[in-house]
Amino acid sequence: MFKQHLLQNLQREIFLLKQLAPFIEERDLDFRPAEKMRNTIELMQYLSGIGAVMMRWFVKNDLTPEEWVKIREHRKTLTRENFKERLDQQMEEILMYMNMITEEDLNKKEVELPSKEKMVLGIAIINAPIKWLAAYRYQLFTYLKMNGRPELSTKEAWTVIQS
* CA atoms of 89 and 58, how far apart (whole Å): 18
Q: Is the pLDDT at 163 greater than 80, yes or no?
A: no
Q: Write the DSSP string, 10-78.
A: HHHHHHHHHHHGGG--GGGTT--SSTTS--HHHHHHHHTTHHHHHHHHHHT----HHHHHHHHHHHTT-
CA diameter of the chain: 47
DSSP single-letter state for residue 116: S
Q: What is the pLDDT of residues 95-147, one digit of tens each?
A: 999 999 999 999 999 999 999 999 999 999 999 999 999 999 999 999 999 99
Cβ(145)–Cβ(152) below 8 Å: yes
Would you state the CATH architecture of domain 2-158?
Up-down Bundle (1.20)
Q: What is the pLDDT of residues 79-91, one digit of tens each?
A: 999 999 999 999 9
Q: What is the pLDDT of residues 146-155, one digit of tens each?
A: 999 888 999 9
* CA atoms of 113 and 111, how far apart (whole Å): 7
Residue 143, classified by CB atoms within 10 Å of its CB into exposed (0-12), middle (13-18) or buried (19+), is buried
Domain spans, the chain: 2-158
